[in-house]
Structure 1
């Protein structure tokens, strides 16, 4: 088992290294910060093809660049996924969020999204792997999630006005079990990594709408009903495609998923 774990960790490290090379090094002048995120996710598997989800995600800035304000945020995201075939899923979701940007300014966000997820090697959906027929038949899981979102921000307090924009997002995901043949068993430790980029379709007033994000970490599938993940995320942002990257975020994220 030790040799399998070593090979698995090596593969995930290789994927992460490739993603890092693709997005390039962060700009030396970029402002950096440290954030803490957490996710509590509830999944309801109505059938082998249909899954409902609700994600609760609080976030807080714990270390900020000098002269920048602190902030805190909470997002609620209901989600529905339907799988017409074994190789792609249709995804619909909407984030409703509140952000305390400064002591005087706060904002509300309503951002619906639609998209499609492609499964390249085998189909793995967290909420339905309890069903034998939906279990992945390969160790390595590779999938691609493409979404289009409408972002709508409403400012209050000392701030005022609204901001609406459209943005395309694409996330390539890799998962690999470290102590079992597939991701479908109990007490499975697995590694995961993904690379996502955010591209505005129009020219929003919001700063840093154009982003790259890399995530890597480990998960533990205790049973079909409970899952835990610990991730490190690195995000860099810029105003437009032509501009240099102006911010670099270091994020620690702990996630718990309950499947019904």
Structure 2
């Protein structure tokens, strides 16, 4: 039973994630990916800064350790010189005191040199880590720049895709491939106009073949004949008027 529930849950998550991918705006997804890459670069830069800061701190500590060993070595040397001078002056007790001081400085010098060696090793390890951190930041910066350039290309391609989709829909509307909706297609309008034109031609053909149409034609022919006869009479009258003038 538990396996069935888990399988159903995985199927539901997969189905919802696929549906979410279909509904998501690619432009928003691109910006989300770029922002995530920028945040990852910021985290890496902060970590690299901490590693480099640790290197700098160890470097300062090593410098202090070197100064301390040099100071202790100089003090031990100075104590031995003072002991020799005191012994040469015949003051053995003072000479022994200086020698004790020299031994104390020498003991401290040994401890300081040991600490200096440890600081040197720690600084070398920190320097390697710092170099790796710098290289990682530089590599990630180059990858981020590539992502930003890819974003510009993808956004341009997305705009071109939208324009092409609009053009495809427009061409589909013009060709009548889209299903009829509230707005009729060009093919539907053309069919309606041709149907009305054909009906009008049919009605005209029926009207021209009827008795009333023949009667109108006969009446029109009679009127035309009468007009022609009237025009001939007017012409003959004009000719008759011209003859007396010619005889004179």
Query: Smaller-chain TM-score range?
Result: under 0.3
| Pair member with larger Rg | 2
Q: Higher helix proportion, which one?
A: 2
TM-score (normalised: structure 1): 0.13
Structure with the bigger percentage of strand: 1
